[in-house]
Structure 1
Amino acid sequence: MAAGNASVEPRQEVDDLEDLFENAPCGYASALPDGRLSKVNRTLATWTGHTTEELVGRRFLDLLNIAGKIYYETHFAPLLRMQGSFNEVALDIMRADGTVLPVLVNAVVRRDEAGKIRFIRITVFNASDRRRYERELLEARRTADQATVALQDLNLTLVARVTERTAERDRAWRLSQDLLVVAHIDGTLETVNAAWGKLLGWTEEELLGSTFMAYVHPDDLDATLAAFAGIVEKPLATPYEYRFRHKDGSYRRFAWTGAFEAGRVYAAGRDVTVERDQAEALRQSQKMEAVGQLTGGLAHDFNNLLAGISGSLEMMQNRMQQGRFHDVERYMAAAQGASKRAAALTHRLLAFSRRQTLDPQPTNVNRLVAGMHEMIQRTVGPGIPVEVVGASGLWPALVDASQLENALLNLCINARDAMPDGGRITVETANKWLDDRAARKHDIPEGQYLSLCVSDTGTGMPPDVVARVFEPFFTTKPMGEGTGLGLSMIYGFAKQSGGQVRIYSEVGEGTTVCLYLPRHYGEVIDEDGAPTVSALPRSEQGETVLVVDDEPTVRMLLTDILEDLGYTAIEAGDSVAGLKVLQSDVRIDLLVTDVGLPGGMNGRQMADAARVGRPELKVLFITGYAENAAVGNGHLAPGMAVVTKPFPIETMAARIRSMIEASRIAASRV
C-alpha cells in the first residue's frame, strides 16, 4: 500500500505543477539552443494572440518588433550565452493583431555536464502597467513641482502685500481667488473677501462675527491652533494645510499663511484640494512601483526554487519508472532543500511586512550576544576581528530571542561584506532613555529602550543608498550575491517587536546599524531549552489528542506523528466539528489546531470557547506566519503554545510530547 501511494502522489504533484505552469500570471517558455520554442504556457500564448501550437517551433526572436530583434541579436543573445542568465530585459512583443505588448524578459541557460546548452528557460512579465505608471508618475511629479513653486510664489506675494497694506493689497483683495481674511487675535472674523462665497458658499453676513475655528475640521483643530500659536511673534510664512468646512457640510483643504500686525491677524488660504488629490495619486503610483519591484524579485527567486522542485520531481518520476530507486533519495533531498529555501524566503517577506509569528520572551541581550560571539567570529572569518561591548546593568528586553539572533547575524554578515579588504566589527549594547524629542526623532514612543548596535569600518554608503536600504529586494551587492531582504526583514522584526532600527553611514567611514528594543520590566528566567524527543516517554496511559485542520494532508501527517508516539488521535476538519468534540465528554488531553479554520471561528476562538468547559485544556497552535494576530500577537494564555508552518516532524513530536507530559506532571501534583 505504501509503495502504491508513493507512485501516485508524485504524479499528482506533477499535474499540479503543470497546471501552475499553464495558468501562471506570467509567461513561461522553453527554447532549444537555436532559439526555437519547444514549450509555451497558455499565458504567454494568450498575450501574443497565438495558440501554443502556433508558437512551438517558432523562434522567440520572431515574436519581437524590429527594435527588439536588433537588441536580441546584438546584446541579449550573446550575453545570455556568456553569462548563463539575463534578468528584466525590456522588450516589445508584436501581437497577432499588430499591436505591441511591452514586456520584461528573464532567461536562464540550462547546460548538460559537458557544458553544452540543453535548453533556455524564458520567463515573461507583462510590463504594460509599469510603463503606464512610469509615465503617470513623471507627469504627477511635474504637476506637483509646478504647484509647489506657484504656491510658494503666491504666498510670499500675499504675505508681503498684507504686511505693507498698500493699494495693491486692496486690488488683490477684490480679485484674489484665494481666501483672504482679517481676524481678531481670538479668531473672530472681521473682514473676508468674495472668494469665501465662491469657494465655500458662505456669504459675508454669515461669516462676520463668527470664529475662524468654527469652520475647521474637528480632527484638525488642535494642530491648527498650535500652528497659529506663535503668529504674534513671527509670521506663518510656511503654508499650513487643514480642512475647512463648506456650507454644504463637505470639507476642502486649504494651505494658509498669515501675519500679525496692529492687533489683527491677516491670513490667506489657497484651495489645494485638487493638488492634494494628485499627490495621493502620486503616492499610489509610487506604491505600485514598489509592488512591481517586490513581485518581480519574488517571482525571480521562486522561479528558481520551483525549477529545483519540479525538476527533482520529474527526475524522481523518471527514475521510478526505470526502476532505478537508488537515485530517488538524491532528488528528494534536492526538492526538500528547495522547499526549505522557499519557506525561508516567505519568512523574510512576512518579517518585512510585520506579519511573522513572534514568541517574545524576557531576554538578557548581553548573554545572547556573548553566546553568539564565537559563531559570529567564525562566520565573518579570522581577518575581521569582532569586538563585543556589553553595557553594565543592561535592561532585559521582551523579544523573540531566535529572531534577534538572526537579525544580529545578518547585520554582522552585511558588515563583513562591506569590508572586502578587512576591518573591524563592533557589537555594542546600551540602555537608552528616549524623551519626547528623541522618541520623535526615532519614530517610536517615548520611554526606556535598550540598543543593540553593529558597527563596521567599511566602505560606507551615500545618503541616497541609506534612504533605500530597508526597501524589499534593494541590494548593493552584485547579482546573485544577495536577495535584498536582509535589512527589510530586520526592519519589520524591529517594528513588530515595538521597537525601531536606525542606520548611520558615511562613505569611507563605515556604517552603524542600531536596533532599539522596548525595556522589559521584570526578571529574566533562565530556561534549560526545548526538550528533545528522546527525553520524553511514549504514551502509556491512553492520552487522546484532537487535531483540527482543514488541510487533509496536515491532518494525516499529525495523526501519523501521534500514532507513532502511542497517542489516540481524533480528527476534525473545521471549527464547528472541533468544538462539538471539545464540548462532549470525550477525553481530550491536548488540542492541536490550525489558526485559520473554516466554520465561523478561528483556532484561537475555538480554543477559548472550549476552555469554558475545559479550563485546563492544553492547546498547541500550528500557524502560518501571517496569522500571528489571531493567536494574540505573542500573548498566549497559560497552557498554550505555537509552532509555525512548515515545521520539522521532530519539532512537532517533541512539542506534543512535552505539553502532554507537562500536563501529566501537573495533574500528579494536585
Structure 2
Amino acid sequence: MQRIDLEQWRAKEVARLLALLETERRYYQEMVASLPVALVVLASDRSLVSANRAFRRSFGLRAEDLQGKTIDQILPSERLIEAIRSAHTGGAPNPKFVVELGERVLRVAAVPMRSWIDEGEDETLLMLEDLGGIERLRTAAPASRAVPADLPAIVWQADAATLKFTSVTGDAERLLGYQVSHWLTAPRFFSERIHPDDRVSTMACYQGAIARGGDAGAEYRALSASGDVVWCRETIRVSGRTITGVITDIGRRKQLEEQMLAAERTGALHGLAARLAHDLNNPLMIVTGYSEEILHTLGSQDVKRGDVEQILAATERISGLTGQLLQFTRKQANPPRPVDVTRKLSQLAEKIAVIPVTQAVWALADPDHLEEVILALVSAARAREQSRVTVACDVETIAESVASATLRPGVYARILIHGDGPGPEPEKRAALFESFLTAKDPEKGAGPALARAYAIVREWGGDIAFSSEPSQGSTFTVYLRHSAAESEAEAPEEPRANTGAGARGETILLVEDEPGIRGLVRKILQQEQYNVLEASSAEEALKIAAAHKGAIHLLLTDFMLPGMTGRDLAERMHAASPKLKVLYVSGYTDDESVRGGVFPPGSRFLQKPFTLSGLVGKVREALGS
C-alpha cells in the first residue's frame, strides 16, 4: 500500500490497521519467545535488546538479569565478539561457528538485521545451540527431554564423578526454595540438600548405584532454603558419566500415611478397650458384691474389716478404669453443623494467642466441642511453662489420594496450633492420641483430653496431624470438612432456569491495553449478561473504580500493563474492596510469580491465547470461588 493511499483513509480505519499490526507483532514476538532455540538480539554496542526463554533458561538467567548487560558480560569470548563485529560491520551473516566457554561448547550463528522500531538502527541476531546439552539429551532418559517449568517435580542431571549438578528443570525453586543457579554452582549441594540424619544412608545408596550403574531410589528429608524439612522421593539413573534424577515432594503422602496409621492404631485400641471393659466388669461385680457381703458380717472392731475395705477401694479404682475404657469407645461428638472457625478463635483470644485472618473460615463442627478440642491441643502444645503457643486457621485443598487414608481429596478448614517448646520423644509420638487413661499427676493429664479431641474430630469426618522438629517446635494441624457460611448452607435452593453455570448481572472491570482484545472480551462478556467497565491502563481502571457507584465483583486484567502492572492494580483495589475477585490473563508465562501461582486469595489465572469458552468458564469459576 502506498503512503498516498493511506492519507485517503479515515482516522478510525487507520487506527484499526495499526492495532492489527501491533497484534501481529505481538503474535510473532510470543512465537519467537516460545521457540526451543536460544535467540538473543543485540544492539550496535552489543547490549541485549531482547532474549527468548530458551536463552535465559540455557544460562540460568532471569529477565531482570539481562537489563543493561552486554553479551560480553554474559558470554565472555573473543571469538564470539569478533564474529558479532564482523556480521554487524560487514552486513553479511556469519555462518555457524563453535565457541568454547569453560566446559560448555556452543554452536553460534550471527545474522545482521534492522531494528523493528528504528529501521536506521543496525542489530544482530544470535542463534545458539549447546552441543554438550544436545549430547546429554541423546543419552538421557526420554522423560528429561521436555520438562514443563511448572511441573510439580525437579528433573536434574549431574556428573557422576564430581556429583556437580549440570542441569536442573521443573519446580526447583518452589520445592526447596533454592534458585537453579544455586543448584549449579554450590560445590557440595548434591549431599548438603539432604538432611544430616538421612545423608549417610542416602549417599551410600547413590554411591552404590554409581559404582554398578543402573537405577536407584530413596526417600529422605531434604533441607529447604528456609531451614524447613521437606520429605522427598528421588529416583536416579546412572548412564556412563551422567546421573539423571527426578525429585517429588511426598510430604503430603507421608502425613496422610501417618494419619492413617494413627487411625488404624486407635481403631484397634477401641476394640481392645471395649473387650477389656466388658471382660473386667463381670468379675469386678463379683468381687465387689462378695466384699460388701463380708463387710456387713464383720463387726466394727473386727481386724479383718480394714482388709475388706482395702479390697473395696481397689475395686472402685478398677471400676473407674473400666469407666474410662467405656468412655473411650463411645461416640464423643455432637452432630456437626456449619461453624465460623475464625469467630470461635476470636472468642478464645483471652485464653490463647490467635493469629488474625482476613477472611472467615467455615467448617462442619459443633461450637462447644470445637472449643474443647482447641483448648486440649493448646494445652498439649505447651510442653513447658514458658512455651509460647499460637493458633491460626486457613483453608487447604488436599489433592493427593492415598488408599485407605483418613482424609479424601477435597477442601478442608485447617487449624494450626504451634508451640515453640520441645515436642515428645519420637517413640511417644505414634501413641500421642492413645493415652485415654487419667494420669496420676493432674499436671500431666493431657492424654485423655488429646484422645477425646482426636475422637471428636474423627467423628466429624476430619483428622488431626502432629509434626515436630528439633529447634522448630511442634504443630497440631486440625482438618475439618470445609463448609459454606451458615446462612448459605441453610438457605433453600431457589428453582432457576437451566441457563448454564454461574450467575449473571455481576459487574466486571476489564483492563486490557490492546484495543482489539479488549473489544472482543467486552463483547463476549456482555453477551453473557455481565455488566462491563473497561480501561486501557491500571491508572484509568483506578479512576473508573473510584467513580463507579455500585459494587465491582471481578477485576479481569492483563498481567503486563504499561506503567502499573496488573498485580499492583489488584493489590490497590483489594485494599479498598477485600472481597474483590481477580482474574489475570497474560502470555508472559516466564514471569516467576505467574509460574509459581503466587496470587492473592480469590484470584485466578488464564493463559493467553485462550478460547472464548475458556474465558467464560474461567470468569464463572472466579466469580464462584
Q: One fold, TM greater than 0.5? A: no
TM-score (norm 2): 0.30
TM-score (norm 1): 0.28
Query: Which protein is richer in helix relative to its size?
Result: 1
